[in-house]
Structure 1
Amino acid sequence: MGAAQDRLVDGLYGLGWAGVKKLPEPAAVALGHRIADFAWRRRGKGVLRLESNLARVVPDAGPERLRELSQAGMRSYMRYWMESFRLPAMDPARFGTDVSIEDDHILKEAVASGRGVIAALPHLANWDLAGAWVTGHLGIPFTTVAERLKPESLYDRFVAYRESLGMEVLPHSGGAAFGTLARRLRAGGLICLVADRDLSASGVEVEFFGATARMPAGPALLAQQTGAALLPVTLYYGDTPRLHGRIHPEVEVPAAGTRTEKTAAMTQAMADAFAQGIADHPQDWHMLQRLWLDDLEERSA
């Protein structure tokens, strides 16, 4: 990406954060739908990949149903962005009325225990709004990790945005974040990680909708090393409240096995919880990239 394109990308995101939050909410929703439908009709790589991914999630869906799902998926994806641009200006009192999380007592009790808690989420609905609910409504601070984006100014915008919502944000680079996350957990803190895609060599292979994918080992390793509770969380969109979710039961550390075996079993259990939430609400899974290993092998062939 050249310097001119870097400035353009950063400028567009800056315009979104500066402009969209000033729009009346119905106007922002309508704008999001128009942008999503325009992108969906163009049938670009992201839309086609989303459709391909949804075909695995809903294997009995025909072409027409897949197109309906992908259009709904693009609208959900753009809804995430419209809401995210508006979140810093949202009245914090709305976090309690706009978000409804099933079995939230599991999270509250785990945090109160002082063990440390790892909340692991897939790319479902709006994880930033869920984070704002945790900090703004429950009053629980947490730490998360952000991928380093280019240009650097765009990464800085994302960090500032999430910090404005009460999150501590660490850069995902060089493995340095792992040690800081472990320290936060040993101090009884909460960390939240989006954890349904890992294409690195350290990713753990899991069975996911009948094929092999890789997911990050970090959540399972952190739970083993610190004694923290690993809680999968899945989300989906509604109208009133606007965001729903579920705190799944803790993924326990197996009593026997090597560290590698325990990590594999825990990551598979996490993936199974993610699959349940995604299967129930496929239109809210914002996975516009390759995920399954055989898709990656096709690209490299």
Structure 2
Amino acid sequence: MRAWRVHQYGDYRDVLRWEECEPPPPPSGGVRLRVAASGVNFPDILAIAGRYQVRAPLPFSPGLEAAGVVDAAGAGSRYRPGQRVVAFASWGAHADYMTAPDAAVFPIPDAMTDEHAAALTVIYQTSYFALRWRAALQPGEVLLVHGGAGGVGTSAIQLGKHMGATVIATAGSEAKLQVCRDAGADHVIHHRDADFVAVVRELTGGRGADVIYDPVGGDTFDRSTKCIAFGGRLVVIGFASGRIPDIRANRILLKNISVVGLHWGAYLDHEPDRLRRCHDALCELYAAGAFRPVLYATLPLERYPDALDALRSRDSYGKIVLTTT
């Protein structure tokens, strides 16, 4: 099979290799799928550099998620060859074949394209878990989404609107503000030109946002505590800024706010059934037309380094998907 492979950790432009290798065997309780499309995520860059939460054993193929057709199933798998599925794993997606345990494999509805399926799992499950279960977002509440034009950002805007929230989104360019509007944001803030704290307070009559969705961290997290409503929930999604922030406990106490984390991948070990329930819910919403993944580009698998360039430069928005055909 063809695969992008990493034999030593480092910058992806230096260490990625396009190689021919043997397809991996399916696990006993899982499947091997013939990949049709795979999703590109920022953790790919960290994994290749050896700086992701789970360090992949060398050599490995990067990539967290892929859609395709079951090629072979282990003896204990619930799936059979020929079924269309989407799968996720800590690595292995950017290749012609990928393996995953059944708990991380879900059927793809007939009406969903491979490209949309490859863009679904990581970002939409992250936002669904964050808004529905971690923040318990309610109809009529105000949701502030930072990094609104990114993959998790656009999914949070779409799902937040579906859940009945008024959505405020931040982004760093006029083009990305339009991406947020197109995703359904009611209000947008250019965070390089305006003080988002002041704007959020003005838009909410001084009350602040009920739920703040923060994949940025750093100064964005620090300043978000100044525009959160009494009893609000600040959901920590990630640290794209590069700085992991701190918070003084008296701020949590005085405004009765909750700061909650979401490590979505950890649910595979702790509550795997929630992943399946979330997938089913997202497929129902997709079938009803509630959302469509926002795709910046669909590129052939061979152009994976170019996709990572667009991701690292922050030129991209939404999701980048790679296809094998």
Same fold? TM cut 0.5: no
Give the TM-score of the pair, scaled to structure 2.
0.38
- The structure with more helix, counted as a fraction of residues: 1
Give the TM-score of the pair, scaled to structure 1.
0.40
Q: Which structure exhibits the higher relative contact order, with contacts defined as CA atoms closer than 8 Å and separated by 6 or more residues? A: 1
